């Protein structure tokens, strides 16, 4: 796998041409139209998730509405500003305490530095110049697709399914305001997925977020404002993750144990802070690149089809977790169009709960079927109904729960249940840090080929990342193996 010449790729992109159309979060300009800023209270044309799920007109689904309790929380600074890089709002002593505990735990490796920078407009840019991507001491996915941490007490990333002939079904960047037809399709096909929701989107489209849980999918965080996490300060990383988990809890009622970094941009510093919050880092093995379709992106529809076909073609050999999006109408429709082929090739198309046999992904008492149960028709138990799920404004409702306190959350994958040592860390393990040893996540034979794919995957990751940046032109120097 190392028989490839080291190369340096200079990627120069005038980002203004692509970034304007590449918006994964609700633009703050749009959000200002909300009643939050104008004092108008508008109902959604639906008073709960069940009623909302029946609305078919996309324009009606995407009309802003108001959940008074949530709006009050947003206005009283119990969450960061929507679409802005998160930090701990002044006066949130609960968050400050959790953040202090994580810092005191010693889990954050001090030698892993912030990558790149953020400009005054809140745009973040990674910078690979001067970083040794071959040695990759920080296990920086953007540099080498590294997924196995090089620092102690941090669990490895999850990116494949355990069972053969299995497609790990995941959709990022929701909740999309007009996803009802897509979720209806998933329901009709009896498909369950893992949904990586953006914090800003959750508080903007709470009834849509509730539908994700009610329908039996499982929900992980995808950060508050969808920035490249390695470019953010320790506290910003904490806040991006913490307030997304808090939004999921207040809006849907569950405390999640998983997250996925935007653009895959994660290193051991970011992983450690996530671990301190009881969040397992989930990546992917295969990327449909669906978000990148023309005319907004660079790829033709045919190219996206080919990406799907390539993944479909290896059903007999690998069981990948696959990256797909609910970001726009195209990505949602593309999955529906390709699904018959996916289904014909893969015996099993399953969410990460079944893919990894995590049956208690939340702290709350909701049990998901494991792989064997799911493929024989098993359903989750303890889920709220669409007419009963409610927003919870109780400030004490959200609590961080460490891996060791999670019954069978994502933190359990690859963890030795008998081990209870802080490994090489000399600090005592506080409540918010994992206190068991971790081995590799579930793998299959394709892992051994990872090195041969890392160059392309890395470059793809780079372009994915760059496309998500602000309007500043950027030169990125890319050290990789090709
Ligand atoms: Zn994303």
Residue 135 CB neighbours (<10 A): 11
Share of the chain above pLDDT 70, in %: 75
Q: How many Å lie between the centroid of ligand 1 and the Cα of residue 417?
A: 32
**From ligand 1's centre to the CA of 223, what distance in Å?**
9
Residue 443 has pLDDT above 90, yes or no: no
pLDDT confidence of residue 212: 98
Low-confidence winner among 250-264, 400-414, 437-451 (lowest mean pLDDT): 437-451
Least confident range of 104-118, 172-186, 199-213, 414-428: 414-428
Model confidence, pTM: 0.82
How close is the Cα of 7 to the center of ligand 1, in Å?
28
* 228 CA from centroid of ligand 1 (Å): 10
Ligand 1 centre to CA of 225 (Å) is: 10
Mean pLDDT of 137-153: 97
- d(CA 155, ligand 1 centre) in Å: 21
116 pLDDT band, cuts 50/70/90, is confident
Q: What separation in Å is there between the alpha carbon of 464 and the centre of ligand 1?
A: 10
In the block, residue with structure tokens 């669906």: 290
- 304 CA to centre of ligand 1 in angstroms: 17
| pLDDT band at 129; cut points 50, 70, 90 | confident
Of the two residues 197 and 424, the one the predictor is more confident about is 197
350-365 residue pLDDT tens: 999 999 999 999 999 9
CA distances to 193, 194, 250, 383, 479 from 364, rounded to whole Å, are: 19, 17, 13, 10, 44
Q: Give me the pLDDT at residue 189, please.
A: 98
CB atoms within 10 A of CB 21: 11
Tell me: pLDDT of 456 over 70.
no
What is the per-residue pLDDT across 298-336, written as a single tens digit (0 to 9) for each?
999 999 999 999 999 999 999 999 999 999 999 999 999
Lowest mean pLDDT among 242-246, 384-388, 460-464: 460-464
Question: What's the CA gap between 381 and 108, in Å, rounded?
Answer: 36
d(CA 344, CA 274): 37
**Separation of 39 CA from ligand 1 center, angstroms?**
31
- Report the separation in Å between the CA atom of 25 and the middle of ligand 1, taken as the mean of its atom positions: 9
Q: State residue 407's pLDDT score.
A: 81
**196 C-alpha to center of ligand 1: Å?**
8
| Cα of 293 from ligand 1 centre, angstroms | 15
Q: What are phi and psi of 301, to 5 degrees?
A: -60, -40
CB atoms within 10 A of CB 283: 22
Of the listed ranges 189-203, 249-263, 386-400, 407-421, the one predicted with least confidence: 407-421
Residues 155/441, Cβ–Cβ less than 8 Å = yes
- Looking only at the bridges linking them, the beta strands covering 474-481 and 218-221 are unpaired
Q: What pLDDT, on the 0 to 100 scale, is given for residue 122?
A: 64
- Residues involved in catalysis: 172, 325
**CA 173 to centroid of ligand 1, rounded, Å:** 5
pLDDT 10s digits, 256-296? 999 999 999 999 999 999 999 999 999 999 999 999 999 98
Give yes or no for residue 33 having a pLDDT over 90. no
- Closest by Cα among 34, 204, 159, 179 to 453: 159
pLDDT at 403 over 50: yes
Summarised one tens digit per residue, pLDDT across range 236-259 is 999 999 999 999 999 999 999 999
Residue 118: pLDDT band (50, 70, 90) is low
What's the angle, vertex CA 52, arms to CA 47 and CA 54, rounded to 5? 130
Domains and CATH numbers, the chain: 6-481 (3.20.20.370)
């Amino acid at each position: 796998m190392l028989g490839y010449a080291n190369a340096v790729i200079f990627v120069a992109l005038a980002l203004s041409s692509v970034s304007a159309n590449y918006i994964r979060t609700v633009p703050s300009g749009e959000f200002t139209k909300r009643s939050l800023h104008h004092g108008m209270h508008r109902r959604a044309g639906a008073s709960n998730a069940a009623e909302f799920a029946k609305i078919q007109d996309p324009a009606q689904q995407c009309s802003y509405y108001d959940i008074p309790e949530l709006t009050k929380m947003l206005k009283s600074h119990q969450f960061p500003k929507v679409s802005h890089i998160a930090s701990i709002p002044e006066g949130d002593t609960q968050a400050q305490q959790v953040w202090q505990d994580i810092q005191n735990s010693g889990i954050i490796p001090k030698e892993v530095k912030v990558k790149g920078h953020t400009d005054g407009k809140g745009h973040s840019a990674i910078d690979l110049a001067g970083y040794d991507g071959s040695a990759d001491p920080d296990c920086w996915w953007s540099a080498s697709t590294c997924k196995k941490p090089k620092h102690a007490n941090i669990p490895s990333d999850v990116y494949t399914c355990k069972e053969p002939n299995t497609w790990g079904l995941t959709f990022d960047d929701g909740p999309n305001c007009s996803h009802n037809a897509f979720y209806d399709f998933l329901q009709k096909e009896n498909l369950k997925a893992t949904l990586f929701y953006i914090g800003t989107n959750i508080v903007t489209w709470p009834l849509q977020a509730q539908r994700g849980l009610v329908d039996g999918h499982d929900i992980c965080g995808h950060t508050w404002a969808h920035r490249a996490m390695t470019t953010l300060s320790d506290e910003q990383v904490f806040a991006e993750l913490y307030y997304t988990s808090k939004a999921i809890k207040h809006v849907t009622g569950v405390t999640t144990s998983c997250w996925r970094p935007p653009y895959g941009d994660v290193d051991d510093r970011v992983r450690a802070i996530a671990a301190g919050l009881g969040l397992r880092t989930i990546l992917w093995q295969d990327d449909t690149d669906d978000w990148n379709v023309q005319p907004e992106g660079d790829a033709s529809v045919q190219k996206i089809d080919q990406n799907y076909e390539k993944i479909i073609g290896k059903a007999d050999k690998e069981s990948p977790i696959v990256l797909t999006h609910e970001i726009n109408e195209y990505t949602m429709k593309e999955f529906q169009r390709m699904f018959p082929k996916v289904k014909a090739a893969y015996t099993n198309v399953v969410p990460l709960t079944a893919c990894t046999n995590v049956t208690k992904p939340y702290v709350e008492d909701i049990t998901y079927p494991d792989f064997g149960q799911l493929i024989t028709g098993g359903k989750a138990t303890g889920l709220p109904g669409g007419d009963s799920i409610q927003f919870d404004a109780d400030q004490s409702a959200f609590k961080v729960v460490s891996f060791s306190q999670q019954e069978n959350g994502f933190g359990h994958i690859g963890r030795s249940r008998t081990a209870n040592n802080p490994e090489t860390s000399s600090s005592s393990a506080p409540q918010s840090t994992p206190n068991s040893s971790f081995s590799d996540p579930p793998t299959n034979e394709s892992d051994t080929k990872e090195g041969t794919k890392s160059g392309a995957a890395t470059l793809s990751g780079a372009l994915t990342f760059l496309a998500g940046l602000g309007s500043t032109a950027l030169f990125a120097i890319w050290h990789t193996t090709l």
